[in-house]
Amino acid sequence: MATGTASAPRTALPGLPGFLGFLRRPAVGKLVLLAVAAAVLVPLADSRWASGSWPGALTVDLTEPLGSASTWIIDNRDSHPLFLYFFGHVSNAVVLAVRAVYLVLLAAGWAGVTAAAALVAWRVAGVRLALGTAAAVLTCGLLGMWVPTMQTLALMVVAVLASVALGALLGLAAGLSDRTYRALRPVLDTMQVLPAFAYLLPVVLVFGIGVPAAVLATVVYAAPPMARLTALGLRGADAGVMEAVESLGTTARQRLFTARLPLARKELLLGLNQTIMMALSMAVIASVIGAGGLGDRVYQALASVDVGAALAAGIPIVLLAVVLDRVTGAAGSAGSAAPAGEKPEGAGSRRTGWAGRADRAGWHSWAGRPGWVLAAVAALAVAVAGRLAGRLDWPETWIVTIAEPVNRAVDWMTDHLYSGVPYVGGTADWAAHFTTGVLNPVRDGLQWLPWWAVLLTVAALAWPIGTWRTALTAVLAMAAIGVLGVWQPSLDTLSQVLAAVAVTLVLGFGTAVAAARSERCERLLRPVLDVFQTMPQFVYLIPVVALFGVGRAPAVAAAVVYALPAVVRITTQGLRNVDPAAMESARSMGATGWQQLRQVQLPLARPALLLAVNQGVVLVLAVVIIGGLVGGGALGYDVVFGLAQGDLATGLVAGAAIVCLGLMLDRVTQPTRGRTRKGA
Amino acid sequence: MSTTISVQEAAAESTGAENTEPVFSVDGLWKVFGPKADRVPADPELAALSAAELRSRTGCTAAVRDVSFDVRKGEVFVVMGLSGSGKSTLVRCLTRLIEPTAGTIAIDGEDVRAMDRARLRELRRHRAAMVFQHFGLLPHRSVLDNVAYGLEVQGVPKRERRAKAQEVVAKVGLEGMEQRRPGQLSGGQQQRVGLARALAVDPEVLLFDEPFSALDPMIRRDMQEEVIRLHGEEGRTMVFITHDLNEALRLGDRIALMRDGRIVQLGTPEEIVGSPADDYVREFVRDVPREQVMTVRGAMRAASAEEAGEGPALSPEATISQAIEAVARSGQTARVVDQGRCLGVVDSDALLEVVAGTAGTAGTAGTATRSTRSAGSAGSAGATGPVGSAREGVA
């Protein structure tokens, strides 16, 4: 009976009226228009620049001017006033600040740092997190990574402080002035979708490889979320409250400090949380440009495919990420009395599960001063005690070396799991099959396509789901890649992205449908997703190298693993947030579970699905680029090569192409203005 | 004949109230939203257009059109209308939360539109405080700090403002909840906080913007009684916006009924119900239980000599329903007595006419009873004269 009702409308005669109706759909109209334009333009273009790849005539070689620019900068770094009086000071200030923080951390000793971290966590987030924090910090020491951890921490502290200050200022300006907001918003939106690697080269060009470049790249990467969320929070203040406050005769200053800022508290703390997470992510990646610390250990280990050493440095990164995320997340939700239903636009879906914790964590007024004083005194006491006991450095005897056993395990895996496992093959076999069966055909197909066909496809994808504006940006970005002369490697990267996105979406949507339909499944998934989403991109490279060796397939695998949690989470939420009344009415008409999913949930969750695709694409691109470090080749490799060889021109061109590719992929999959941050 | 004179005297007495200076005096007020809004009030042709025509011709929306009224000291002045009638815009114009397009607003004779920022802040801080439909409380502050907020803004020291806030919190019946957050309160309690916040600054006028519309009916009734009680205790001037006719009739000393940005009728509840200015108002008040709104003052006729000496006594403000009870109980005509003088009498016929609504279209009949009654209603119309008819001039 139910099937009969559902399929009844379909029995309407197909044919002419149906076809006319089909034509009248806006998406089809756009495509027809595009086809007409293509019919006119393509023969013209093809006759002039007939070429499978991007025509050489349309390429501008930037290597020469970029090379001379970088040479000029290197030559003048010590003499030109711009460097002497501006960049030089910035650079020195950064070095001094990082050094000072590092020395303070060392002076506090391992006991002092552990105590301070645990006590801060206790005040902000309660006893359980405090214990977890202490355990995490001690684990870093146990793994023999105390000094690199402190180096990374010192760099992060400086970068986070600078990011927060910069982001808050920009956010304040954008939050209070409409014009600034309109000017800043597209910039921030775009910065959100660019892969971290794109930020490295410009700073290197100015500051050279070293700590200042690393810190500044981190600041540029981590400040936008703070700015975005500050602006959003300030602008999102309840209009009714603001009116009431104004009706009491407040001055503009009073309105800002007593109403607008406190009302935006949740967004501000969320911004802080995201800034910290992104700073960590970038501080690790910036090891490529001389950040030192944990990231550098991972980078060096990966370069020699020493999985054990990479893991020993990778675990502290993960622990730091989890601890920082939990503690700042708890600070954001504690004591916020705002109704849980109000979610800031674009604040990211990953926080939704946390709203419930607000009430539980609200027991302590975390502004309570005596507690803080107590915590500070206790931390100081532990630090002094550690000093007096002469135990500042982590004791050598307490180090557990895991590199050796891990490498033995990896060797065993290489011997037994890489290939020749009966029936299932081996991981290396899979990787090889994936490369020959999927990656190569896609890459060759893309590179075989005439260049105008690629542009047309981009337009045809972007226009129907977006506006003509997004479509135009996407086409122009793609064309710019050609103009830069990196058409072939970009298409190589693109093929990896497409393959990874396809795998991510299949796995992600499947998991999400299961999670949305079963409460238990979601409960099991949630903590896993929570942890996975907090980890820096870099860390994902370690396990995939262990499993699949090096090459393009592991890069794709890392991208899939990185993007999967975000896709699953957004999709699950979209499916769960479908209007219960619509679901109920479908059930009341006797729809089967499959019918409910296909006819009600999926159509109604369409915005969430599109958003998931968009996020998936952006996240996948970020990691595919980083995959250049483990043999992913293409654009990512060009950047690394440029850095390693001091050939900044190659690296910069590749960086620009990454920016264009990111822009193109984002615009092609951008359905609406509402978007979340990149997952970091 | 003496009784007829006394009716007129009674009418003259009731006019005494309006000799006091108005608190708010609004004249020819316009608020037009849209591009180049200024030209609409200035151009008589545009000003005369209907809302739809105005929008298609100029792209503007006139939320308030040529509104004039006075709010007298100590009265509850209700502005009532359906959603979109411009009432909320009107009340925001009074303290320039929304900047008016044209017209004058004066508070105690001082021109509000001419005030500079500091002076305007002063007005908002000390002279007019507002209660909002959606409360507008600060979610991160406790009840006590919300109530004290207005004083904090004025720079009152902490101890002092806390003490004052405590006092007001007690006054609105929120003792024991001082340390809660607004999110932990029910809607009715939140609105009590909103009311307390407005009261704490001890304003000359309280402005209410549909304060109880978001509340459940039972709570709404409680809150209305709270307002009536507060008004009885303090006698503070109130401007009350509502879309609920019953609320308007319960609370209002005078009611301005708005439609499409204009005031279509301004008068006492009795006048609005008893003599609607046009069909719109008539339709509006059709279902009102008239016997509970109309008073015997409007239904009485001159007493004959023997009638003046016996029968139950009623005050002129007694409702028809009270009179019906008195007449039914005694089986006689009831006397309307004010300060020991008999102003007139009501009999069952007159009362029935009021209930049936046939008396509302009065003024045409020629019998002795009727003419006295209409003299009375003319008198009370005269009471609101300067405002009700001369200035309003819209209907």
Q: What is the pLDDT of residues A641-653, one digit of tens each?
A: 777 777 777 777 8
Q: Closest to A247 (Cβ–Cβ): which among B122, B124, B184? A: B124
> Under DSSP, is residue A414 helix (H, G, I), strand (E, B) or coil?
helix
Beta strands B102-107 and B22-33: pairing type? antiparallel
Residue B77 has pLDDT above 90, yes or no: yes
Residue B121 contacts A where some CB pair is shorter than 8 Å: yes
Would you state the structure tokens that stand for residue A326, as one six-digit string? Answer: 């939990």
B388 falls in which pLDDT band (50, 70, 90)?
A: very low
Regarding whether B158 and B296 lie in a shared domain, the answer is: no
Report whether B263 contacts B256 (CB < 8 A). Answer: yes
One domain for residues B119 and B215: yes
Question: For chain B, percent helix, then strand, then coil, each to nearest 5?
Answer: 45, 20, 30
In a domain, residue B23? The reply is no
B137 and A265 in contact by Cβ < 8 A?
Answer: no
Instruction: With CA atoms as reference, report the closest residue to A219 among A257, A184, A191.
Output: A191
CB pair distance less than 8 Å for B123 and A249:
yes
| B85 and B220 in a common domain | yes
- Any domain includes A667: yes
A37 domain-assigned:
no
Arithmetic mean of pLDDT, B83-96: 89
What is the residue-averaged pLDDT of chain A?
Answer: 76
Mean pLDDT of A395-404: 73
Host domain of residue B331: 290-391
Residue B243 and residue B352 share a domain: no
- Give yes or no for residue A456 having a pLDDT over 90: no
Amino acid at B389: S
Q: Which residues lie below 8 Å from residue A435, measured CB to CB, with a gap of 6+?
A: A551, A552, A553
DSSP state of B303: P
* ipTM reported for the complex surpasses 0.85: no
How far is the alpha carbon of A514 from chain B, nearest alpha carbon, in Å?
Answer: 35
pLDDT of residue A49: 64
A390 contact B CB<8A: no
Of the listed ranges A353-362, A573-582, B135-144, the least confidently predicted one is A353-362
Among A17-26, A80-89, A430-439, B181-190, the minimum mean pLDDT is found in A17-26
3-state secondary structure of B81: strand
Looking at the partner chain, which of A248, A337, A338 has a beta carbon nearest the beta carbon of B149? A248
Tell me the pLDDT tens digit for each residue of A256-281: 888 888 888 888 888 888 888 888 88
3-state secondary structure at position B346: strand
Domain count within chain B: 2
In sequence order, what are the residues at sequence separation of 6 or more whose Cβ sits closer than 8 angstroms to the Cβ of residue B390? Answer: none
Q: What is the CATH number of the domain that holds B135?
A: 3.40.50.300
Cβ neighbours of B149 in A, within 8 Å: 245, 248, 258
For residue A164, what pLDDT band results from cuts at 50, 70 and 90? very high
The answer as to whether B274 is a domain residue is: no
Does any CB of chain A come closer than 8 Å to the CB of residue B184?
yes
CATH number at residue B340: 3.10.580
Structure tokens at A216: 């500044």
* Distance of residue A203 Cα from the nearest chain B Cα, in angstroms: 41
Q: Which residues are bridge partners to B194 per DSSP?
A: none
Check if B125 contacts A (Cβ < 8 Å). yes
DSSP class per residue in A25-44: SHHHHHHHHHHHHHHHHHHH
In a domain, residue A168? The reply is: no
Identify whether residues B251 and B379 lie together within a single domain. Answer: no
Strand order across the beta sheet in which B334-338 lies:
B313-314, B334-338, B341-346
> How many structural domains does chain A have?
1
Q: Are residues B334 and B243 in the same domain?
A: no
Q: Are residues B130 and B97 in the same domain?
A: yes
Going from the C-alpha of A67 to that of each of A70, A415, B260, the distances in angstroms are 5, 46, 70
Contacts of A251 in chain B (CB under 8 A): 121
Residue count of chain A, please give it.
680
Considering only the beta carbons, identify the residue of A244, A258, A337 that sits closest to B136. Answer: A244
Pair of tokens at residue B135: 């409360």
Cross-chain residue pair B97–A243, CB shorter than 8 Å: yes
8 Å CB contact between B8 and B375: yes
Q: What gap in Å lies between CA A135 and CA A129, rounded to an integer?
A: 10
Closest CA–CA distance from residue A246 to any residue of chain B (Å): 8
Note the pLDDT of residue A590. 78
Q: Is the pLDDT of residue A64 over 80?
A: no
Cα separation, A632 vs A639, in Å, equals 12
> Between chains, do B132 and A250 touch, taking CB under 8 Å as contact?
no
φ/ψ of A278, rounded to 5, equals -70, -35
- Contact list in B for residue A338 (CB cut-off 8 A) is 139-140, 183
Residue B388 burial (CB < 10 Å; 0-12/13-18/19+)? Answer: buried
User: Which residues have a Cβ under 8 Å from the Cβ of B175 and sit 6 or more positions away?
Assistant: B169
Please tell me the least confidently modeled range out of A341-350, A541-550, B233-242, B271-280. Answer: A341-350
Are residue B369 and residue B225 in the same domain, yes or no? no
Taking only the tens place, the pLDDT of each residue in B258-268 is 988 899 999 99
CA distance A252 to chain B (A): 11
Q: What does residue A400 show for φ and ψ, rounded to 5 degrees?
A: -100, 120
Same domain, B193 and B233: yes
CA angle A144, A145, A148 (to 5 degrees): 145
Query: Can you give the pLDDT at residue B76?
Result: 92
The residues, any chain, with a CB within 8 Å of residue A616's CB and separated by 6 or more, are: A501, A504, A505, A508, A563, A566, A567
Neighbour tally for A454: CB within 10 Å: 23
Q: Which of A240, A249, A262 sits opposite B132 (nearest CB)?
A: A240
Residue B163 pLDDT class (50, 70, 90 cuts): very high
Residue A634 pLDDT greater than 90, yes or no: no
Q: How far apart are CA A51 and CA A106, in angstroms?
A: 61
Q: Note whether B136 contacts A250, CB cutoff 8 Å.
A: no
A79: confidence class by pLDDT, cuts 50, 70, 90 = confident
- Give how far B217 is from chain A: nearest CA, Å: 22
Length of chain B: 395
Residues of B in contact with A265 (CB under 8 A): 140
Regarding whether B258 and B322 lie in a shared domain, the answer is: no
Question: Measured between alpha carbons, how far apart are the two ends of chain A, in Å?
Answer: 48
Q: Which domain holds residue A610?
A: 427-579+589-680
Chain A residue whose CA is closest to B207: A247
CA B378 – CA B374 distance, rounded (Å): 6
User: Residue A245's closest chain B neighbor by CA?
Assistant: B136
Specify whether B144 is located in the same domain as B261.
yes
**Chain A residue numbers touching B97 (CB-CB < 8 A):** 243, 246-247
Residue B372 is assigned to a structural domain of this protein:
yes
Domain shared by B90 and B230, yes or no: yes
- The CATH number assigned to the domain holding A643 equals 1.10.3720.10
How many cross-chain Cβ pairs, A to B, lie less than 8 Å apart? 78
Mean pLDDT of A553-565: 84
pLDDT of residue B240: 93
Over residues B156-160, the mean pLDDT reads 91
Give the residue from chain A lying closest to B132, CA to CA: A244
Residues 330-369 of A with CB under 8 A from B: 336-339
Q: How many CB atoms lie within 10 A of CB B66?
A: 18
For residues B71 and B22, the answer to whether their CB atoms sit within 8 Å is: yes
Strand, helix or coil for residue A105: helix
Distance CA A571, CA B380 (A): 68
pLDDT per residue as tens digits for the range B335-361 = 888 888 888 888 888 888 888 777 644
Report chain A residues whose CB lies below 8 A from the CB of B155. none
Dihedral (C-alpha) A128, A132, A138, A143: value to the nearest 10 degrees? 160
How far is Cα A433 from Cα A427, in angstroms, rounded to an integer?
A: 10
Helix (H, G, I), strand (E, B), or coil: what is residue B283? Answer: helix
Q: Which residues of A touch B129 (CB under 8 A)?
A: 247-248
**pLDDT for the residue numbered B386:** 35
User: For the CA atoms of B304, B305, B307, B313, what is the dihedral angle to 10 degrees?
Assistant: 110
Q: Using CB atoms and an 8 Å cut-off, which of residues 314-333 of chain A contact chain B?
A: none
Q: How confident is the model at residue A26 (pLDDT cuts 50, 70, 90)?
A: low
Is residue A335 over pLDDT 70?
no
Inform me whether the C-beta atom of residue B284 falls under 8 Å from chain A C-beta atoms.
no
- Kindly tell me the sign of the dihedral angle through the C-alpha atoms of B100, B101, B103, B109: positive
Of A435-439, B243-247, B291-295, give the range with the top mean pLDDT: B243-247
The verdict on residue A612 lying in a domain is yes
Comparing CB atoms, the residue among A249, A265, A339 nearest residue B183 is: A339
Q: What is the pLDDT of residue A53?
A: 67
CB contact under 8 A, B123 and A262: no
Q: Which pLDDT does position A341 carry in this prediction? A: 35
pLDDT of residue A630: 77
Tokens representing residue B368 in the block:
């002795």
Residue B13 lies in a domain: no
Nearest to A168 by CA among A254, A281, A274, A271: A271
Distance CA A216, CA A335 (A): 34
Tokens of residue B243, six digits: 């879309």
Task: Name the average pLDDT for chain B.
Answer: 81
Average pLDDT over residues A16-45: 68
- CB contact B69 to A (< 8 Å): no
- Of B119, B135, B138, which to mutate for an interface test with A (greatest number of A Cβ within 10 Å)? B138
